[in-house]
Structure 1
Amino acid sequence: MPNMLQKNFSMIRTREELLNEISRNDQLRSIYHDWNEDQQNEFLDFCTGVKGVKILYDAFFKEVMDPAAVPERLNELLSLILNQKIRILNVLPNESPHIAEETSLVIMDIVVELENRSLANIEIQRQGYMFPGQRAACYSADLLLRQYKRIRSEKNKAGRKFSYRDIKKVYTIIFYDKSPMEFHQFPNDCIHRARHKTDTGLEINLLQEYAFVPLDICRKILHNKDINSKLEAWLVFLSSDDPEWIIRLSEKYPQFRTYYEEIYMLCLNMEKVMSMFSKELQELDRNTVQYMIDTMQDEIDKQRQIIVEREAALSQQKTALLEKEAALSEKDQEIKELKAKLAQLQ
C-alpha cells in the first residue's frame, strides 16, 4: 500500500523496486553492503517516502537552491530573512581561508553579489561551531576586506579615485542544522539579526550585518503550529523531514511541491543518489570527530585555566605562609630579646 508521500509524488518508487535495481548492479550492490543496517534503512526510507528527504543534504540543497540556476529561490529566502528586497546579481568564487580549514561542518558556503553591489555570505552548518559570534565576525571582516580590495582595484584600473562611499554593506547569514548552545537560551526565537550601533543612537553605517537561523529550534517552535507565513514555510522546508509537514507545506505553498519533485526526480538516479548518501555519511562522521575535537579542546582549555588559577592561588597562599613564617620568626626573636632583658633585670 503506498505511503503518504508516494500518494502525493508518483515518481517515488517502492522498496522492492529499489532493492531490485541495487541487486542487479555490482557497483550499487557493493556500495549498499558497505553501509550498516541502520544506514541502509535510512537510505531506503527517504528514497521510498517512508521518511521525508533531508533538504540539507548537500546534493539535495544544491539541486533546489543553486543561485546560478534558480536565483529567485535564494532571493526570496534572503529577502525574508533580512526583511528587505534582495536580488542576486552574481555568484562569486569563495576566497575565504576558513573554507579550506573548516569544511567538515559546512553544508554550503557561497558568496553572492547583490543588485546594489552589497555582498552576502550564506553558510549552512551541519553542527554549529563553538564560538559562533567570533567566527561570524571574522567571516564578515574577511568579506568586507574582499569588497574593499576589489573596489580599489576597479577604481585604479579605471583611473578613478577611490571613495569609501563606494563600499557597500556585507551580510553574513548562517543557518545551523544543530545550533551552538548559546542559541538554546532563546528557545522561542527562530532568527537572530544583528548589526553594529552606537550607545547614543547616532546613526552611522558600519556596513556589517548578521542573521543567525537555528533550524533545530525552528523545528521545535513550528512543530505544534500551522504555517502562517512564507518565512515560516521556508523554515519548515529547510528544517523538517516529517512526511506530514511536507504534504502540508506542499498544499499550502505549491512552489515547495516543485522543489520536492526535483529532489525525488534526483532519487531516480540510483548511482548518483547512493554516491551522494555515502558522501553524506562520511561527512557526518567527520562532523562528529570535528565537534568532539572542538569540545575536548574547549574542555582542555577550561581545565588549563582552572589549573593556572589554582597555581596562582597556591602561589599566593605560599607567599602568605612565608610572610607569616617571617612574622613569627620576628616575634620569636623579640621574645628571646625580652627574655634576655628580663633575666638581666632579675
Structure 2
Amino acid sequence: MEHNFIFTQERNMLMTPDFPAQRPPVIWSDPADTPEELTYRLKKNPTLYDRYQRLNRKWKGHLSDFLIGKKSLPLTYDPFFKFIFNPDYHQERLSNFVSSILGMQITVVEVLSMEDTLMDGESYLIMDLVARTDDGSIVNVEIQKQGYDFPGQRMSCYASDLLLRQYIKAKKMPDHSAHDFSYRDIKPVYVIVIFEHTISELRLESHDYIHHGKTTFDTGLDLHMPERFCIIALDVFREIPYSEIKKCSQSAWLLLLSTEKLEDAERLIQDYPWMSPIFQEIAALRRRPEEVFDMWSEALLQMDENTLKYQVERMQAENEKLKLKAEKSDAENEKLREQSKADKSRIAELERLLQEAQNK
C-alpha cells in the first residue's frame, strides 16, 4: 500500500492517512502579552496548566517572562542551545559559530550521534553536539553550567572518543582495504567547552575568557597531535563592560549566549543585524507553548541530574575524608591504648618497688 508521509513543521510529527496524529500541537495565533492572559490561555489546556503549576516559583517566573515577551530564552541550557544551533536545520549558523571560536573557517557537513559506546562496550559518552566538518575533522561543543562537571580529564576522554570514531570509520570504509589505512589520515578533533560558571582554576589575573590548547613538546618538536581544545569562561566574558568588548563575530556569538533581557537583545541586533533571524526564531516559540514546555522540562531534568550527581560526588568525597579521619583516629586510639598499657605496666612496676621499699 502506498502512503503519503507528511512532517508537520511545528513538531516534526509523522502522519499518514492510515495513522493520523493523535493530537495537534498547541499553537497560539498570537503570543500572550500579560501574565493574566498567559494564565487564562494555559487554563484552557489542563495538561499545560498542570505542567506550569508543577514548576517552582523561580522557573515558573522564567517561563512566564519568556512567554509574555519580557525575556529571551536561557541559551546556555542544552535544549535551547540545540534549538538555535541544530545542525540539521542551521549548518551554516553552527559553522559560523564554531569558526569564530576556533579562529579558522569551519564548514559543518554532518551531525553525528551524540551517544557513543566506549572501548569496553558498556560505558557511554553522551555529548551535547557533535558534527563532522568538510575536511573530515570532528567538532564537539559542550555547554556546562558548572565547571566542576568537566575537568581536564573528561575533555581528554571526549577527544579520545572523537579520534576513535575517525579511526573506526576509516577502517570500515568499503572502498579501502585494511592496508590502505594510514594514521596520517587522521584529522584534528576539537573539543569546545563553554562554562557558564567557572571554577577558580579557569580564572586568570589577565581576565582571559577563551583558552585554546593542544599537546606540545618542551623541546619545540613539531609533531602533529590531532587533539585540540577550547575552553570558554562565559561568566568572565560577562564581566567585561559592553563598551569594552571588541566588535567581532566571536563576541556577537558569546553575547548571544549571555543575553536574556530584551533591551540587551535589541542592542545586539542593532550592532549585529545578522542576529535578527535568530531572535525572530526565539520569539516565534512564544506561540508554541507546548514545545517550550518540552524543552524547559528537558533542561530542568538535566539540571536535576547534574545537581544530584554533584551532591553524590560531594558526599563520596566527604565520606572519604571521614574514612581517612576515622583511620587516623583509629591509629591514634591504638597508639593511646598502647601508651595506656605501657603506663599501667610502669605504674605496676613502681607500686611493686614502693611495696618492697616499705617492707624493708
Instruction: Flag whether TM exceeds 0.5 (same fold).
Output: yes
Distance of 2:188 and 2:248 partners within structure 1 = 27
Structure 2 counterpart of 1:7: none
Counterpart amino acid of 1:203? D
- In the alignment, which of 225, 235, 257 is matched to residue 276 of structure 2? 257
The reply to whether residue 68 of structure 1 matches residue 96 of structure 2 is no
Change (3 A) 1:312 1:23: closer
What residue is the counterpart of 1:92 in the other structure? 112
Of residues 149, 163, 167, the one that matches 1:144 is 163
Give me the whole-angstrom Cα distance separating, in 1, the residues matched to 2:226 and 2:97.
Answer: 21
Q: Which residue of structure 2 aligns with residue 274 of structure 1?
A: 293
CA distance in 2, matches of 1:300, 1:159: 50
Whichever structure has more helix as a proportion of its residues is 1
Residue 37 of structure 1 deviates from its aligned partner by: 3.3
What does residue 172 of structure 2 align with?
A: 153
Could you tell me how far apart the structure 2 residues matched to 1:182 and 1:306 are?
27
Mind listing any 5+ residue stretches in structure 1 that lack a counterpart? Answer: 1-10, 330-346
> Aligned partners of 1:312, 1:209: CA distance in 2, in Å?
48
Structure-1 separation of matches of 2:33 and 2:206: 39
Moved more, 288-297 or 201-210: 288-297
Q: Which of residues 90, 112, 117 in structure 1 aligns to 2:131?
A: 112
- 1:63–1:248 distance in 2 versus 1, CA, 3 Å: same
Secondary structure (helix, strand or coil) at the match of 1:194 reads: strand
CA RMSD of aligned residues (A): 3.2
Contact in 1 for aligned 2:137/2:188 (Cα 8 Å): yes
How many residues of Structure 1 are paired with residues of Structure 2 in the alignment? 308
Q: Normalising by structure 1, what TM-score?
A: 0.78
Distance 1:188 1:209 in 2: 22
Question: Within 2, Cα distance between the matches of 1:156 and 1:171?
Answer: 27
- Using the TM superposition, name which of 199-208 and 272-281 deviates more: 272-281
Aligned to 1:34: 54
Residues 240, 296 of structure 1: alpha-carbon distance in 2 compared, 3 angstrom cutoff: farther
Query: In 2 relative to 1, CA 164–131 (structure 1 residues): closer, same or farther, beyond 3 Å?
Result: same
- How much identity, in percent, do the aligned residues show? 33
2:223 corresponding residue in structure 1: 204
Q: CA deviation at 1:306?
A: 6.0
- C-alpha distance in 1 between matches for 2:310 and 2:154: 15
- Contact 2:133/2:139 (8 A) holds in 1: yes
Q: Quote the Cα distance in structure 1 between the aligned partners of 2:84 and 2:123.
A: 25
Q: CA deviation at 1:78?
A: 1.0
Q: Do the aligned residues in 2 keep the contact of 1:187 with 1:217 (CA within 8 Å)?
A: no
Change (3 A) 1:295 1:281: same
Give the corresponding residue for 1:291.
Answer: 310
1:176-215: CA deviation from partner (whole Å, max 9, x where unpaired): 2223342235571211111001101111001111001122
Q: 1:181 to 1:151 in 2, by over 3 A?
A: same
Distance 1:155 1:181 in 2: 48
Shift in Å, 1:232: 0.9
Deviation at 1:276, TM superposition (A): 2.5
Q: TM-score, normalised by structure 2?
A: 0.75
Measured against aligned partners, the alpha-carbon deviations of 1:109-164 in whole angstroms (never above 9, x if no partner) come to 12211111111222212333446101101111121122112212227754652211
Structure 1 residue 41: Cα displacement: 2.1
Q: Which residue of structure 1 aligns with residue 184 of structure 2?
A: 165
Q: 2:45 aligns with which of 25, 31, 34?
A: 25
Q: What 5-or-longer segments of structure 2 have no aligned partner?
A: 1-29, 347-360
How far did 1:251 drift?
0.9
Q: 1:186 to 1:259 in 2, by over 3 A?
A: farther
